[in-house]
Structure 1
Amino acid sequence: MVTSNPDTAAGAPVATMTSPAVRTPRAMIHRDTLITAAKAVAGMVGLLTLWQLAVLVAKPPEFILVGPIDAFAELAKRPEYFANNAYITLQEALAGFVLGTALGVACGALLHYSPTLRTFLYPALVAIDTIPKVALAPLFIVWFGFGFESKAFVAMAIAFFPLVINTYDGLASVPHELKELARINRASSFQRMTKIEFIYALPSVFSGAKISISLAVGGAVVGEFIAGSKGLGYVIMLANSQVDLASMFAAFMVLASIALILFFVVDLAGRKLMPWKTHAK
């Protein structure tokens, strides 16, 4: 009499289909992201608690320092006001980040693949990056006016340079053995670039992107400082003129939240596009 193994009987789940190992890379991505986010939230809560305790103990005048409770109360009092201005700053920062990423990656690739261009362009880029971006903001306002475009270009100017450097360094760090392997297998230049070099450079590019996304938020605020009539930068300037520290710190909190969320979005995108890097850990 033939007996059937219950593990392989009809209707029984197939082990390989539900094996935890199959889901390990994706599970690790979500787990690492959640752990990182939880640590960040815990750190922020701890910092806010220390801040509030310092205010309660020192009892400074309200025109010098207020606690996070006062800032949260201001947010609760005018949520639509802060939300509308945060949305404007977010749009400017994202536009600057996208432009900075596209131009930064393209420029970093040009520096790597064209040694002649690198000789002339790299020193010029370093010199431009040393110029304070606050000094460039009036120039963008002259070129693009007082609207959305000038703030987006200020954000782009600040977000641009980290992506140039990280893209160039990532492409330059491709092992010589991989290039030789591609040559032996008669891979075309385009195949080497897309299937080996840019894949190898992705971790470096995303490291630059995580820096740039936070800088882009700051760049949008810098543009709003110079010539803004809306946005969180304008909220901060208006609160400063009125010595309204509760509104000022509320805007700071919203800005920090935006930068933190965007940072984790870029980090999660990197983990999704580079599962091998997460799995290797």
Structure 2
Amino acid sequence: MTDLHIPSPAKPHGGPALRDNARTSRGALRAPLVISISGIAGLLALWELIVHAFDIPGYLLAGPWEALAEIAAAPGFYWEHSLMTLEASALGFGAGGALGVIFGAVIFYVPAIRHVLYPSLIAVNTIPKVAIAPLFIVWFGFGLESKSFVALSIAFFPLVISTFDGLASVPSELRELARINRASKWNQMRKIELIHCLPSIFTGMKISISMAVGGAVVGEFIAGNSGLGFVILVANSQVNLTSMFAAFICLAVMSLALFMVVDHLGRILLPWNVATSK
């Protein structure tokens, strides 16, 4: 059996031209970022305008300026609780993402397991995570572990689906090419199927990372004594909408930042996918 060799793309020539292309690419990336920031700023301005125009009382809706002032008045408080939520989210996403990719590959490559396990995974995923969160508290207690496992349970399924679909979408021509070249199953998986599947995996990761933050908040609702979910719960009991919306803003910033990190990582590791998607 011989290894399957994929020729490396030729290196571009022309230093000045390459630098010009790099500057053009950076400029192309800055434009959507500016538009996105402008859109968020416009949404916040509209929110503030609605609050003032309709004179909505503070116990019904807090304006963004008031919520931002609340964060500025106690930055250490919101920073500390944001870090708690971030830690649970990152652990849940990391473990759930790794398990999701592994399970997605297993159910694709082992049909016997697919027929047994896949319907069960779908059935379990339909159960609301708020309903199963108390189980994690019974099993793992009230600490970081239970909140991380709630985040894991939510982040896990999108990676299973995206990995499975990515592997299933590999063109049959590429598999035929591997067979003609007498490539081993391992080389076919590593040099063709995994490479082709990576864009789907990163799409699943971008979905999972935001859902992991939501899962951590659900865990904090049920069993937390810290974190932004706990802040929201306490603010709700006190009808303190300013603190609640301040926590919402922190969660939105955190989710957006994590999404952008995963997206940027995908652009770095999968440059060919970025080029073909333009």
Number of residues of Structure 1 aligned to a counterpart in Structure 2 = 266
Identity of aligned residues (%): 55
- 1:253 counterpart letter in structure 2: I
CA distance in 2, matches of 1:41, 1:250: 19
What's the CA shift for 1:35? 3.4
Q: Name structure 1 gaps, 5 residues minimum.
A: 1-14
Match of 1:49 in 2: 45
Aligned: 1:93 with 2:98:
no
Distance 1:210 1:17 in 2: 35
Confirm or deny that 1:40 pairs with 2:36.
yes
Deviation by residue 1:68-111 (Cα, 9 ceiling, x = unmatched): 11001100100000000000100100000001110000000011
Matched, 1:74 2:96: no
Q: Superposition pairs for residues 254-265 of structure 1, below 5 Å?
A: 254-265=250-261
Distance 1:31 1:153, change over 3 A: farther
Query: What is the CA–CA distance in structure 2 between the aligned matches of 1:248 and 1:32, rounded to whole Å?
Result: 37
When normalised by structure 1's length, the TM-score is 0.91
2:149 corresponds in structure 1 to 153
Where does structure 2 lack aligned partners over 5 or more consecutive residues?
1-11
Post-superposition offset of 1:37: 2.9
Match of 1:222 in 2: 218
Counterpart mapping for 1:1-281 below 5 A: 16-21=13-18, 24=21, 28=25, 30-280=26-276, 281=278
SS of equivalent residue, structure 1 residue 205? helix
* TM superposition shift of 1:44: 1.2
Query: 1:260 is matched by which residue type in structure 2?
Result: L
TM-score normalized by structure 2? 0.92
Structure of larger gyration radius: 1
How far is the alpha carbon of 1:215 from its aligned partner? 0.1
For 2:24 and 2:208, how far apart are their aligned partners in 1? 27
Structure 2 distance, partners of 1:277, 1:271, is 8
Measured in 2, the distance between the counterparts of 1:134 and 1:25 equals 47
- SS in structure 2 of the partner of residue 62 of structure 1: coil
Give per-residue Cα distances to partners, 1:105-138, cap 9 Å, x unaligned. Answer: 0000011101111101110000001000001110
Q: 1:206 to 1:81 in 2, by over 3 A?
A: same
Contact 1:25–1:279 (CA<8 Å) still a contact in 2?
no
Query: CA RMSD, aligned part only?
Result: 1.6
Give, in angstroms, the shift of residue 33 of structure 1. 4.3
Contact 1:25 1:275 in 2 (8 A): no
- Partner SS state of residue 19, structure 1: helix
Closer/same/farther in 2, CA of residues 35 and 141 from structure 1, 3 Å limit: farther
